[in-house]
Structure 1
Amino acid sequence: MRRAVAAVALTLLVAGCATFPDNGPREWREKIENRGELGGPPTIPDPQAPPTDPDAPGSPGRGGQSTPQVRCPDPDPQVVATCLEPVGAVAPLPEPDTAIVGERTTGRILKVRKGRDPQLITTVEVDPTGGGGLTGLVLSPGYDEDQLLYAYITTRTDNRVVRIAPGEPPKPVLAGIPRGATHNAGALVVDVDGSLLVATGDAGGAGADPRSTAGKVLRIDTLGKPGQGNPEPGSPVLSSGVTDPGGICVDPQSQIVWVTDHAAGRDVLHRVQPGELPAPAWTWPNRPGVAGCMAAPGVLAIAQTQDASLFVLRPGPTGGFTGDPETLLAGTYGRLSAAAPSRDGLLWLGTVNKAGGEPGPTDDRVIHIQPPAGGASKA
């Protein structure tokens, strides 16, 4: 028995003295309490990371929803927000250098401001197939008092306008707009009388039905009821003949409403009138991908996706255009999508370089620039 115990002791002693290859000197690190096999890997502060501002939008110290901090700087001083998903719409806020941005494919709605991390307002469930998703966004005509937003979205069953109130889930304002395999995009703008103008895609052919809300320009109030003065009382339809809208905008001085559209074999620009849309005011046989637009006295600026530029026309007082069109920002920011003016007279643009383009390290982006000047007032 004593010999057996001695043998076991000798075995343990040899095992305790076993040697392993020596890999050389090692860096000594202090053990971190409550970490390791059960507590997870230790967290080592990044010496390059700037200190966290608990009062900055996006930080855990503030109430409400927020996005994680994204360090994605862009050296261009006109770039306000970076590293977003493709931008479906932009709605400038009354605050200087601040806007609400909607991502087409994710349904995220964010508040962006130069020098700040984007702050998540809400996420709307969307279906981005067939060109849909979140493609329209506008402030309520009474935003200063009610803080409401309106968005045009595609769901699994329809296209619709929804209202977004602070701290509440989105609520449908006008639902049941047909959706199809293609042409689900839509656009929103507030008319000079406070009505919502809604450009809807034809959902691949549903717009041919005059009773359908697809393929139309709709005019509704903020509760979704048909606007006063529509051609047919009780109907939300203002104009018919839209195929696949890229944007809708209003000149606040002339009150002219413009819609950009992707028609069969060409891109077109329509001047909206009650009833059937008239012949296009401008056409692009080369299909540059007309998207969002901004209308101001004497100037109409149109974002172009395929041509990656800003196309500028100068409407005259009699309905035509003066001078030659201009192409600006060609290749500067890539594929432009959303466009909207702010109260300070500047132009907001969004990009969709992650959707069919060649995204750079800070795409997709939101840009805030001085718009082109208006033209002469001659016919």
Structure 2
Amino acid sequence: MRFRRVRAVAATSGAVLALTAGCSFGPPGPDQAGSPPNLPRPSVAPTAAEGDAEREVALSVLAKDLEVPWGMAFLPDGGAVVTERDTARILKIGPESTAGGLKVTELRRLGEVTAGGDGGLLGVAVSPKFESDKTLFVYYTTAEDNRIAKIAGDGPVQPILTGIPRSEQHNGGALAFGPDGLLYVGTGDGTDGGGQAQDPKSLGGKILRITTAGRPAPGNPVRNSPVWSSGHRNVQGLAWDETKRMFATDRGQPRTAELNVVVKGKNYGWPKADGPATDPRYTDPLVSWPTDTSSCAGVATLESMVATACVLGRRLQLLNVTGNGTVLGSPQELLTDEFGRLRALAAAPDGSFWVATSNQEDAGQPGPEDDRILRLVFSDGGAGRS
């Protein structure tokens, strides 16, 4: 099942995408594309659904002329912090508007970052106490390793976890606070053979769970170890749904790319498994796709929907996931080949999705406005609700 394709649109214009039957979204509400108030409105209003056969998705471009945006996280004021992988810049997008979209402000540029391959300034997470501590957490590549650091206001960059394996590719980079208030880190195995993913003493090929001081979190599978799950290739997206179920993308396998439901202490098989495993010691992915149509990085959830942004696949993959964790129907596609490579994806506080293109990197084919941040509003998907 596919969503209809959409043409490229200007910075403050929009378009409406029609969904085929089988999705659980109702008719669009009257204010779904208008909150928060400073966000650009699509210039084309959603049209009425044709019976039960179609639903709409409204799209607008929030920012343009970026350079390989990688990580994205939201601030209490409704704006977002966005990292640029190769320039090592941390940007703030919005919530203020300009004539061309949302205001883009450079907050700082990190000097310790060594960009190259898929390494550089990667994930970003906003402290759950940001209103009082003004602290951001970042994942970045140096000449020696990948590391996690915290930045409080205008203060120095303070590394809290170092020694994550680095390589030309497969550096991981996912960073997000979970519903438990702890910091989760998606790493890459940092090798061609994947030996680190199965090594319990290595930080490579893992999802880590740490405190804001960078220490192993209480309740981890192994005492005094930051490892939450293992057997991963290259984790570049983390998200939780309303039931606190955790999803992670895993890309870089030769044959498949995966979306996993991550469970404490489980082993997801790399390099012994590329996609579903035959060995009962390993946990199968929720969904796996051929690498050339997926290679997904960012992941976000909205009610029963889980979406991933695909770099090589140049599309969004969307799934309806039931309460017991099974996929309802077939995965659907949106934006296929319309905006090029897609990487960062996040659910905004108003219920919309923000997705970033990744066309200014070596393998991309940038257009005149790339890279861009897009906003998607699904009919009756929650945008505009507080």
Normalised by the length of structure 2, the TM-score is 0.74
1:341 equivalent among 338, 344, 347: 347
Unaligned 5+ segments in structure 2 are 1-9, 14-41, 43-59, 269-282, 382-386
Equivalent position of 2:86 in the other structure = 105
**Partner SS state of residue 129, structure 1:** coil
Instruction: After the TM superposition, list the runs of 4 or more consecutive aligned residues in structure 1 that deviate by more than 3 angstroms.
Output: 371-374
1:214 equivalent among 184, 198, 204: 204
Matched, 1:357 2:364: yes
Residues 299 and 372 in structure 1, CA contact (< 8 A), matched pair in contact too: no
Residues 186 and 200 in structure 1, CA contact (< 8 A), matched pair in contact too: yes
Equivalent position of 1:6 in the other structure = none
CA positional deviation for 1:332? 3.0
Matched, 1:95 2:100: no
Equivalent position of 1:265 in the other structure = 255
Encode CA deviations 1:77-124: one digit per residue, 9 max, x unaligned.
52121111111111122223x211100111100111242542111111
**Partner SS state of residue 143, structure 2:** coil
2:107 equivalent among 105, 112, 121: 121
CA positional deviation for 1:189? 1.2
Partners of 1:335 and 1:264 in 2: CA distance: 19
Residues 94 and 342 in structure 1, CA contact (< 8 A), matched pair in contact too: no
Question: Structure 1 residues 371, 239: closer, same or farther in 2, change over 3 A?
Answer: farther
Alignment of 1:164-243 (within 5 A): 164-204=151-191, 205=194, 206-243=196-233
Partners of 1:273 and 1:238 in 2: CA distance: 8
CA positional deviation for 1:149? 0.8
Partners of 1:245 and 1:234 in 2: CA distance: 22
Matched, 1:281 2:286: yes
Question: Structure 1 residues 372, 232: closer, same or farther in 2, change over 3 A?
Answer: farther
AA matched with 2:302: A
Residues 64 and 371 in structure 2, CA contact (< 8 A), matched pair in contact too: yes
Equivalent position of 1:155 in the other structure = 142
Unaligned 5+ segments in structure 1 are 1-72, 375-379
2:11 equivalent among 74, 84, 87: 74
Equivalent position of 2:236 in the other structure = 246
Question: Structure 1 residues 95, 203: closer, same or farther in 2, change over 3 A?
Answer: same
Partners of 1:227 and 1:361 in 2: CA distance: 45
Indicate the RMSD between aligned Cα atoms, in angstroms: 1.7
Partners of 2:172 and 2:330 in 1: CA distance: 30
Equivalent position of 1:313 in the other structure = 319
CA positional deviation for 1:144? 2.2
**Partner SS state of residue 118, structure 1:** strand
Partners of 1:269 and 1:120 in 2: CA distance: 32
Partners of 2:336 and 2:169 in 1: CA distance: 28
Residues 133 and 185 in structure 1, CA contact (< 8 A), matched pair in contact too: no
**Partner SS state of residue 144, structure 1:** helix
Relative CO higher for 1 or 2, CA cutoff 8 Å, sep ≥ 6? 2
Question: Structure 1 residues 372, 147: closer, same or farther in 2, change over 3 A?
Answer: farther
AA matched with 2:290: P
Equivalent position of 1:8 in the other structure = none
Q: How many aligned residue pairs are there?
A: 300
AA matched with 1:322: L
**Partner SS state of residue 131, structure 2:** helix
Normalised by the length of structure 1, the TM-score is 0.75
- Flag the structure with larger Rg: 1
